Amino acid sequence: MIKVAITGALGRMGSNIIKTINQQDDMKVVAAFEVPNHPKKGEDVGKLIGIGEIGVPLSTSDELDAVLKETKPDVLVDFTIASACVENVKIASKNGVKLVIGTTGFTEEQKAEIEKAIKENNVSAVISQNFAIGVNIFFKTLEFLAKKLGDYDIEIVEMHHRHKKDAPSGTALRAAEIIKANRGIESVFVYGRQGMTGERKKEEIGIHALRGGDVVGDHTVIFAGDGERIELTHRASSRQAFVNGVILAIRFIAEKENGIYNTFDVLGLNEIKF
Ligand SMILES: NC(=O)c1ccc[n+]([C@@H]2O[C@H](COP(=O)([O-])OP(=O)(O)OC[C@H]3O[C@@H](n4cnc5c(N)ncnc54)[C@H](O)[C@@H]3O)[C@@H](O)[C@H]2O)c1
Ligand SMILES: O=C(O)C1=N[C@H](C(=O)O)CCC1
């Protein structure tokens, strides 16, 4: 039985992850954390998310070290915000707890802090900006398109719900990195455009973030050439798409002793080469 702790337990992702873990035979939630001074602290997390009692009281992140020592989870799943995630990863990895990290919006310094904590403490982690299986196939397809159409004008457009805190999305940034690594010419990321921008340069990858309503997550990459264009779109219509990938990642990382992995490793997509 894989014992799992969740940070961001009552959030849009955390609550759905807990619901889905509760339906699996090979894993169970042993600890769940929210922000310090949360008004529901101590209440049963299952009741709070509407699935009935699961015997796990809501803890807060200031208790993370003590509760991890007491409940001894194998894996901690973090869907919070970047600054909180960095601290959670430091504490979890010091306790020898493996990680599945879905939080986005990190600075380069925060990414480095996370990697340092994981490596210094010899734990294993899956880090992914998007756990949806379809998005990972979309990423793989981008490797192919960037290799074939690297000199086309490339623009990335993403849209998410009005509550999303970071922009552009982690997925859009990952898509840009994949294109940059595969297109065979220099790349410069251009975030939105305004005013007298001058003629578009070939090396630009335009990245545009839209926010509104309850959009779960849409990403389109446009490869525009002379007289034609390809538009590759992924639309998530339910967070269950991300949650299903998280469940696969928990099983994957439970078997790994150390190292930093991504969802291509979880889904066996690294072997596919174009
Ligand atoms: N990788 C993916 O597949 C994927 C999918 C969806 C969302 N995300 C990312 O996951 C993150 C969360 O998204 P969401 O929509 O669930 O957000 P949300 O705001 O609904 O949930 C985040 C939760 O974390 C809690 N939190 C904040 N700081 C905390 C701390 N120190 N300890 C414990 N809990 C803390 C908040 O109170 C909140 O309940 C975002 O960065 C988002 O971009 C990633
Ligand atoms: O809802 C969010 O927030 C999402 N965040 C991830 C990102 O930033 O790419 C994945 C899609 C949903």
The binding site consists of 8-13, 34, 102-104, 128-131, 161, 170-171
Ligand having the closest approach to the CA of 12: 1
Whether 217 lines ligand 2, by a CB cut-off of 6 Å, is yes
Beta bridge partners of residue 126, listed in sequence order = 100, 261
pTM of the model: 0.98
Q: What fold, for 133-236? A: Dihydrodipicolinate Reductase; domain 2 (3.30.360)
Beta strands at 217-225 and 98-101: parallel, antiparallel or unpaired: unpaired
What tens digit of pLDDT does each residue of 128-144 get?
999 999 999 999 999 99
Active site residues per annotation: 160, 164
Domain boundaries defined on the chain: 2-127+239-267, 133-236
- Give the mutation target among 6, 7, 10, 13 for probing the ligand 1 site: most ligand atoms within 8 A of CB: 13
Q: Retrieve residue 182's tokens.
A: 């595969």
- Give the mutation target among 160, 165, 238, 239 for probing the ligand 2 site: most ligand atoms within 8 A of CB: 160
What tens digit of pLDDT does each residue of 37-48 get?
999 999 999 999
Name the closest-CA residue to atom 6, ligand 1.
13
Which own/partner pairs from 200-203 qualify as long-range (CB within 8 Å, at least 24 positions apart)? 200/153, 202/151, 202/153
Is domain 2-127+239-267 annotated with CATH 3.40.50.720? Answer: yes
Ligand 2 centroid to Cα of residue 226, in Å, is 32
Distance CA 14, CA 17 (A): 5
Distance CA 76, CA 239 (A): 19
Ligand 2 centroid to Cα of residue 245, in Å, is 13
Using CB distances shorter than 6 Å, the residues near ligand 1 are 7-8, 10-14, 33-35, 61, 79-81, 84, 102-105, 128-131, 166, 170, 242
Q: Is the ipTM of this complex over 0.90?
A: yes
Single-letter residue type at 93 = S
80, 88 in Cβ contact below 8 A?
Answer: yes
> Per-block average pLDDT, block size 10, for the chain (274 residues)?
98 98 98 97 98 98 98 98 98 98 98 98 98 98 98 98 98 98 96 97 98 98 98 98 98 97 97 91
Q: Give the residue among 22, 27, 88, 32 at the shortest CA–CA distance from 57.
A: 32
